[in-house]
Amino acid sequence: MTNATDPTSETRDRVVATADALFYARGINAVGMDEVRTAAGVSLKRLYAEFPGKEQLVLAVLASRHRQWEDGLAQTASGLDDPRQRLLAVFDFLEVWFRDDTFRGCGFINAFGELGATSPAVAAAAREHKQSFQDRIAHLAVEAGADEALGLQLALLAEGAQTTAAIAGRADAAVQARRAAETLVAAALDGR
């Protein structure tokens, strides 16, 4: 097992971060392994020792993105005692993300769009990430006293906001989605 001070782990992390930045900015198919190697400052032998093929590197990038997503959602909701506010915090997280100059949409949707038809492993990683997000929001909805269906509706709003922000370049998509989410939350909880 490696740890944060292990040079192998540091090299692997650097390659994954470099590949993530390149893939996210330009697309997976547009970036070759040699470009990743050069940008990460590792030998081609070392790159292929860590990642025998590009698919393995893409999967490592997606795993890293999933952890960042989970950490970001958790951090945004930390300290919020009100379950309703924890539900709505998802949209606050999205707003910050959409305003980032490097925002290019959801990395999982992008990867699925490029490779989903030809890489069952990438398609599965994208599906697992999206299911994990839906499960999280459904859990938050139940904690707030609503049905899981509210969580699924809010997850769809969040997904639509991501797509709108990426394609239309509208960072305010998160704000609009949050307003719609507030209406749904109120309708589900205030009548109880």
How far apart (Å, rounded) are the C-alpha atoms in residues 188 and 192?
A: 8
The residue whose two tokens read 């692997």 is 12
Angle 185-129-173 from CA coordinates, rounded to 5°: 45
Residue 104 tokens, joined: 């290019």
Q: Which residues contact 152 (CB under 8 A, 6 or more apart)?
A: 134, 137, 138
How far apart (Å, rounded) are the C-alpha atoms in residues 133 and 73?
A: 10
CA atoms within 13 A on the CB side of 107: 25
> Residue 7 has what pLDDT?
58
How far apart (Å, rounded) are the C-alpha atoms in residues 183 and 165?
A: 21
pLDDT at 5 over 90: no
Beta strands in the chain (DSSP E): none
Model pLDDT for residues 20-39, shown as the tens digit of each residue: 999 999 999 999 999 999 99
High-pLDDT (> 90) share of the chain, %? 93
pLDDT category of residue 191 using cuts at 50, 70 and 90 = low
Q: How much helix, strand and coil, in percent to the nearest 5, is found in the chain?
A: 75, 0, 25
Residue 157 tokens, joined: 């709003």
Does this chain's domain 1-52 share its CATH topology with 55-189?
Answer: no
Residue count of the chain: 192
One-letter amino acid at 120 equals: P
Residue 73 tokens, joined: 């959602």
> Residue 190 has what pLDDT?
86
Domain range list for the chain: 1-52, 55-189
In degrees and rounded to multiples of 5, residue 60 shows phi and psi of -65, -40
Over residues 60-78, mean pLDDT: 96
Domain 55-189, architecture per CATH? Orthogonal Bundle (1.10)
How far apart (Å, rounded) are the C-alpha atoms in residues 129 and 10?
A: 25
63 sits in which H/E element: helix 54-77
CATH class label, 1-52:
mainly alpha
Over residues 147-155, mean pLDDT: 95
Q: List the one residue out of 27, 48, 4 whose CA is nearest residue 15.
A: 48
